[in-house]
Structure formats: C-alpha cells, structure tokens
Chain A
Amino acid sequence: MTGKVNREDILKELFNIGVGQAAGTLSEIIDKKIILDVPDVKILNVELGKAELDKFLSQVAEGAVMVSSISFDRQLEGTVSLIFPADKMHQFIDLCLHEDRGEEASMEFTDIDFDTVKEIGNIILNAIIGELSNTVNIPVEYTLPEVNVLNSAKADLFVSDEAYHLVLMMYITFNIEGTHIDGAIVINMTLKSLDDILNTIDKMYDGR
C-alpha cells in the first residue's frame, strides 16, 4: 500500500510528465529550445489555494494576466487555467508566430493574439490533462478553451467556492532564449476526481 505522501508524490510526478510534454510541444511550435521549470505541485484546499494564487498574482503578475483555460468533465471534473503575466505576452505570441512586431510591453491584444494564446493554451493544457487521463485510464471531455485578459485578477476568478473542490497549483517558468516568463497552472478539480486519480494510482502501484 502506498502511503498518502507517496501518492501525492506520484501525482506530482504525473503532472510533471505532462508539463514536460507540454514544454516539448511548445518548443516544436516556436522552433526554439525551451527550458521549463516546474519547481513543485501544491495540492491545497480552496481557502489555501486562493491565498496562494493571490500571492502569485500580486507578486509575479502584478494583477494583469492573460489566462487560457479549459474545463473538463465526464469522470474527472474541473477547470485548468494557464496564467501568464499579460505584459510578457506580446513577446510570447511573436515567438509563436515567428514574427517580431518590435513593440514595447502593452496590454492591447488583437484577435490574432487571442486566437494564438487560445490554441497554444489548448495544446499545453491538453498535454497536461490528457497525459494524466491516459496514465490513470480515466477519460475526460473538454469544453471549448477560453482566453481572457484580466486586470487586477483575483484568485476568486479561477477557484470555485463550491464545496468538495481543491486546488492544484504549479508555478512554471518559461525560459525561451532569454525571454523569461513566470506563469502558473491552476487546476481546480473536485475532491472526487482527485480521489479517483489517487485510488487508480494505488491500484496501479499495488497491483490490486
């Protein structure tokens, strides 16, 4: 029987594999080497999750963020959001489109910018959730991805207040040839979903 701590470690490893795949995917899109650090995966209750996320939003993103999110349901249920500081996004989009608009940091985004971030977010988030789904053999069905720019973003926008939810937070740092972007991946999922994942992990590792 794997203990609680070990199960959490395995879960973190599963997410890290997904994030690693996402980095590879992103590297293919922009055709440049990407160093993607994922220091830790934190599994928190809603209250702690909100506090943690608010800290990130105030310190790293200074409130203005570009968020790409996708919800999933069926046997696993939740929402996953990819949060970037908005002021770095023109550089990031230019890298993805292989263009150089030579613009200073700005908060004006075109339809093409939104479309690009939506699709990149879709690919990255599919890598993370899809690989997890494959590993534990529990299917998910996605809703359409969304992208928003939020000024003075607060954790309430990403984390559901509903009971029996929890928050998984991963801080990620993209380093793309000198362009340094600190972002976060926030997964707000039901406790039942996490239980299903952890129980499946138990069965896989205990051979039951």
Chain B
Amino acid sequence: MTKILIVDDSKFSQKITSSLVGKNLDDVSFDYADDGEEGLEKFREIRPDYLLIDLLMPKLRGQDLIESVRQIDFDAKIIVVSADVQKRVRDVIEKMGVLSFINKPLNDEKAKTIADIIRKGAQ
C-alpha cells in the first residue's frame, strides 16, 4: 500500500487531488492535512511514501514545510501542487529537490503524471 499525504488548506483541492490521483493508482491510501503545521505533524506520525504539498497555506507555508520535512528525512518524496504560476517560484521550489511542480487545477493528464511518478518510485 502506497501512503500519500495531501497537504492543502482547501478541502475542495484535497478532494480533487485524491479522486484524480487515486483513479490512476492501485493500492493507495490518502491522508490529509489542512495546513503546513498539521502536514508536518502528520508526516512525523504517518511517514507517508509521498507528500503532495500546496504552497500557499496558513501556519506553515509549503516552502517552509518542504524544508522542515527535508530536515527529518532528506530523501522524502515530495510533489508540489500549486496555483502559483510564477516562473521564479517554480525555479526556487524545483531547486529544493521536489519530484515535480504541478500547477492547479489538477486534471486527468496532470494526475496521470503524478501517478506515473509514484508508480515508477514504487518499482
């Protein structure tokens, strides 16, 4: 079972992400966190195989969450799913060693990209 932690302050986005990504993967379970702080707590507690992280969130922003997660597990597998379309933001985040930076809204094609990354990682 592949454990995926979705960290996003929008329940709407959580629902879309789990539904579209789940449709493209077998044997997967989802956990959710509504902000960066909760995301960090759940990461410690669950130790998910993958994290799908939004950037603009209350309490602890996505970028800070990625840094905190990296301090705990440098090899944590992180995919960013964000509405921020700025090239500079993408550049900064990609340099943090994330597996991919996907722009919202998620559609089937983007969900398949995420599923492919996860599937390859499981092999």
Q: Which residues of A contact B (CB under 8 A)?
A: 21, 25, 28-29, 96-97, 112, 115-116, 118-120, 122-123, 126-127, 130-131, 133-134, 139-140, 142, 144-145
Contact = CB atoms under 8 A, between A and B. Distances in A.
A126 B10 CA distance: 15
9 contacts: A25-B105, A97-B12, A119-B10, A119-B13, A122-B83, A133-B86, A139-B88, A140-B86, A144-B57
Interface of B: 9-13, 56-58, 83-89, 104-105, 107
A119 B88 CA distance: 22
Given A115-B10, A122-B56, A123-B104, A134 B83 contact: no
A140 B83 CA distance: 13
A115 B58 CA distance: 14
B84 A142 contact: yes
A12 B95 CA distance: 34
B105 A130 contact: no
A34 B57 CA distance: 29
Contact of B11 (A21, A112, A126, A133): A112
Given A112-B12, A118-B10, A145 B56 contact: yes
B105 A28 contact: yes
Contacts of B86: 130, 133-134, 139-140
